[in-house]
A and B are shown apart, each in its own frame.
Chain A
Amino acid sequence: MSESIDRREFLKLAGLGGAVFASGLAGCASMAGAKQEDFYFVQLSDTHWGFKGPALNPDADGTLQKAVAAVNALSFEPDFIVFTGDLTHTTDDPKERRRRLAEFRDIVGALRNRNVRFMPGEHDASLDNGQAWKELFGPSYYSFDHKGVHFVAIDNVSDASARIGEAQLAWIKADLDKQDKDARIVVFTHRPLFDLMPQWDWATRDGAQAIDLLMPYKNVTVFYGHIHQEHHHMTGHIAHHSAKSLIFPLIAPGSQPKRAPVAWDPAQPYKGLGFRGVDAEVQKAGYEITEYPVIKA
């Protein structure tokens, strides 16, 4: 029995975690290529370090630290941790932007797991085309391989017009060209690549071009942030899963005429906030998602 199955059994027995969402494709369990093993990663998103707004989160200065502690307290060590953008809340002041990014980096430096991947959100990167973010965190788009899965991090925020851009699209194509059509591919990005709610800025203007590049690959899953809530959507065979925020939730897409945050509920503090663990399972060629709260109820 693999370690990941032990972990899932443990989670069930211990009653940890929240709702579990399974995402995967039938019939893709055996694939050629690199050796594949089960593994586990954690996704955190939209921490908005520097945000001030007591009506939405009176613990804006302490929620990130609580999330770090919660990840460190997981019973099983993730293989890696990814932050899918909006690490900081936007500011017009370049100096303050760098200060917030540096503070964020210091706080998440307390994560026990040192294998941490970062991505920018529009709050981090759109006002200076990603300049400050790159100074502190490196390239804003990249790829890497882990235990037989190819990960592609797409930057759809450094351009203030919510575009990936021709240069990056060409890079994505060249990167994917090296993969077999049945390779397991996971995409990390900040905004949804599909048109979830363009009138709420919940879309990527040239996201359809990225989806077109991904479409020939049989096993693709996208994990993103931006919309401050869990959401699951399919474009053809490609699954898209958005993560909760760690600052305040937003209302469900289309539930009201205007996009709006959800106010803090003193009776249920931190409600709607959280992070997720993702089990990458070789046998199912899929991903089992477990949602975790910031603090245990």
Chain B
Amino acid sequence: MRLARRRVLAAGIGALAGAAFGASVLAQPQEKVIRIIARKFEFVPEKIELKKGEPVVLEFTTADVLMGFNAPDFKVRADIAPGQVARLRLVPDKAGDFDFFCDNFCGEGHETMSGTIRVTA
């Protein structure tokens, strides 16, 4: 009897969780994810193509040393640590070409480690 009640309870919780997850998926459509590798001394890719007003998640990884991503025109930055995934959500609010760069000193080519975000209307 006790076991049966537990099963009913578990089934109820599972249904609730499923409903909540379903609602969440409906409210937030899957956002585009762009994976970027930071390595000495470049970002791959170094050109990121985005659409104005379209949310995107940038995912960064590195196998080298602590790197940084900084896009001052959108006031976003992230530390990129070896062995971890850094994520930044970005909704571009203007069209054009905008620079980004590594803002953690990472070695001899650090000064030239940069790229461009191209946002089309």
Interface residues of A (CB under 8 A from B): 89-92, 122, 126-127, 157, 160-162, 198-199, 201, 205, 257-259
Contact A89 B105 (CB under 8 A): no
Q: Are B111 and A161 in contact (CB under 8 A)?
A: no
Interface size on B, residues (CB 8 A): 18
Answer whether residue B54 sits at the interface, using C-beta atoms and an 8 A cutoff: no
Shortest beta-carbon distance, B112 to chain A, in Å? 8
Q: Report the Cα distance A70→B40, complex, angstroms.
A: 38
A90 engages B107 (CB within 8 Å): yes
**Is there contact, CB below 8 Å, between B106 and A160?**
yes
Task: Check A199–B72 contact: CB distance below 8 A.
Answer: yes
CA distance A162 to B110 in the complex (A): 13
Question: Does B111 contact A126, Cβ atoms closer than 8 Å?
Answer: no
Per DSSP, chain A at the interface is loop
In the complex, number of A-B residue pairs with CB atoms less than 8 Å apart: 46
Chain A min CB distance to B62 (Å): 13
CB within 8 A of B114: which of A92, A205, A258? A258
Give the distance in Å from the alpha carbon of A258 to the alpha carbon of B97 in the complex. 13
Given contacts A122-B105, A199-B99, A259 and B66 within 8 Å (CB-CB)? no
Binding site for A on B (CB under 8 A): 65-66, 68, 70, 72, 79, 99, 101, 103-108, 110-112, 114
Contact of B66 with A160 in the complex, beta carbons under 8 Å: yes
CB distance from B37 to the nearest CB of A (A): 19
How many angstroms from the CA of A257 to the CA of B114 in the assembled complex? 12
State the CA gap A89–B106 with chains docked (Å).
Answer: 13
Alpha-carbon gap, A127 to B65, bound state (A): 9
B66 (CB) vs chain A CBs: closest residue? A160
Distance, CA A201 to CA B102, complexed state (A): 9
Please measure, in the bound complex, the distance between the C-alpha atom of A89 and the C-alpha atom of B104, giving whole angstroms. 17
Contacts known (A127-B65, A257-B99); A162 close to B105, Cβ less than 8 A? yes
Query: Taking CB as reference atom, which chain A residue is nearest B116?
Result: A257
Are B108 and A89 neighbours in the complex by a CB distance under 8 Å? Answer: yes
- Residue with the greatest number of chain A CB neighbours at <10 A, chosen from B72, B99, B111: B111
Contact A91 B105 (CB under 8 A): no
B107 touches A92 (CB 8 A): yes
Q: How far is the CA of A205 from the CA of B65 in the complex (A)?
A: 19
